[in-house]
Amino acid sequence: MTDILSHELLQIIWFLLWGLLWGIYFVLDGFDLGMGTLLPFLACTENERRTVYNAAGPYWDGNEVWLITAGGVTFAAFPTAYAVLFSALYAPLLILLFALIFRAVSFEFRNKINDPLWRKVWDVFQFLGNFVPALLLGVAFAGLFQGIPINENGVYMGNLLSLLNIYGLLGGVFFVLMFAVHGALWLNLKSEGILRARAEACAHKLWLPLTGIAVAFLVATAFYTPLYSAYLQTRVLGIIPLLAVTLLFSVRIMLQAGKHISAFASSAGFMLCVTLFGVIGMFPNIVLSSIKPEYSITVTEASSSQLTLTIMLCVALVCVPLVIIYQSWAYKLFAERVTEKSLQSDHAY
């Protein structure tokens, strides 16, 4: 059974699935991260703040599992990349981790004590627990595209600030804006009244800066990263960045037309295309070294054995469709808007 697919083909499949997994994580957790970032700016009253929490309520935990899976798949399919990337990005990853811990706890703890100060403290953590991961994921992925300072042994030669160059910061701001628009579009679907109107207006307002930064990021990518060489070699791949731009404009058009679900879907598609654009551009490397191109780690060098990749593909082919079916069912189950009345129930956040 192990020789149905060649090792090379399996590596390419898993590389694409790896990129796709990160993309799905960004799309799903992206709206949680975005809403949390916007919390202090959009929600003014206690009920509005609780609406924001409950708009993410049944989803954020399941969404975070996509991050665990993306990490797990990196470990399983490309152990060398996992080892090098995670140890190189030590500080940003640990900060990301602490931020996510505070986010989870702020969901669970906030409503347990009815005291304005207690709740205010957790609102701060909710904001930081979403804003910081959004920023760091952007900085980290910009770093991946650009290459990180690793030597021939995969040891990180940079310091804490190596990733915070112009391109890295641009990536950070880009991700924060991307998630914020995505979050505003989600809140637009999940709330009602003034808060919903504010969320819609916010998506409108942030669209232009997002587009500006996205264009700047695409242009800067040509100067700071080798990503475009893949696209110059295989021109048909150019459809991915084109699709990304199209979907970004579609967000605006759909919003204007009042088609709010389509606007959210366009935003999701945009984020998926952005991720795939970057990841595919890295091929055949999975970790780029900014010190010397020879130190970069290729997909082949990083990958697990043919047997492991085959088994994991079987597991994924059987389980992932099931996961998608029951997660979609759960999304549908809680699809209705958060209302004043639903906030009264004893299990609301």
Residues 250-309 that bind other proteins (CB under 8 A): 304-305, 307-308
Which member of 133, 138, 147, 154 binds other proteins (CB under 8 A)?
Answer: 154
Does the footprint of other proteins cover residue 72 (CB under 8 A)? yes
Stretch that binds other proteins, among 184-192, 196-204, 217-225, 325-333 (CB under 8 A): 325-333
Nearest to 250 by CA among 239, 238, 261: 261
- Closest separation in Å from C-beta 64 to other proteins: 7
For residue 286, give the 3-state DSSP assignment: strand
Cβ of residue 240: shortest distance to other proteins, in angstroms?
26
Residue in 40, 62, 226, 238 binding other proteins, rule: CB under 8 A: 62
Task: Give the number of residues in contact with other proteins, rule: CB under 8 A.
Answer: 74
Give the number of other CB atoms < 10 A from CB of residue 52.
Answer: 26
Calpha distance 287→82 (Å, rounded): 9
Closest separation between CB of residue 234 and other proteins, Å?
Answer: 29
Q: How far apart are CA 126 and CA 37, in angstroms?
A: 8
Q: If binding is defined by CB under 8 A, does position 41 make contact with other proteins?
A: no
Among 11, 37, 51, 69, indicate the residue that binds other proteins (CB under 8 A): 69
What part of residues 2-31 is at the interface with other proteins (CB under 8 A)?
none
- Nearer CB in complex with other proteins: 81/173: 81
Using the rule CB under 8 A, give the single segment among 83-91, 182-190, 220-228, 276-284 that binds other proteins. 83-91
> Out of 8, 41, 45, 58, which residue is the one contacting other proteins (CB under 8 A)?
58
- Candidate residues 20, 91, 164, 245; the one interacting with other proteins per rule CB under 8 A: 91
How far is 177 from 180, CA to CA, in rounded Å?
A: 5
Burial string for 124-160 (b: 16+ CB within 10 Å, else e) reads ebbbbbbbbbbbbbbbbbbbbbbbbbbeeebebeeee
Kindly state whether residue 156 participates in binding other proteins, applying the rule CB under 8 A: yes
- List phi, psi (to 5°) of 75: -60, -45
Does 238 participate in binding other proteins (rule CB under 8 A)?
no
- Burial class (CB within 10 angstroms; exposed 0-12, middle 13-18, buried 19+) of 28: buried
- Shortest distance, position 89 Cβ to other proteins, whole Å: 8
H-helix segments, 257-338: 260-282, 299-302, 306-333
DSSP letter assigned to residue 338: P
When asked if residue 115 is in the footprint of other proteins (CB under 8 A), the reply is no
Closer by beta carbon to other proteins, 6 or else 45: 45
By CB under 8 A, the residues from 326 to 345 that bind other proteins are 326-327, 330, 333-334, 343-345
**Mind giving me the DSSP string for 171-204?**
HHHHHHHHHHHHHHHHHHHH--HHHHHHHHHHHH
Among 80, 165, 246, 300, binds other proteins (CB under 8 A): 80
Name the 3-class secondary structure at 256.
helix
Q: Which is nearer to other proteins, 84 or 274 (CB)?
A: 84
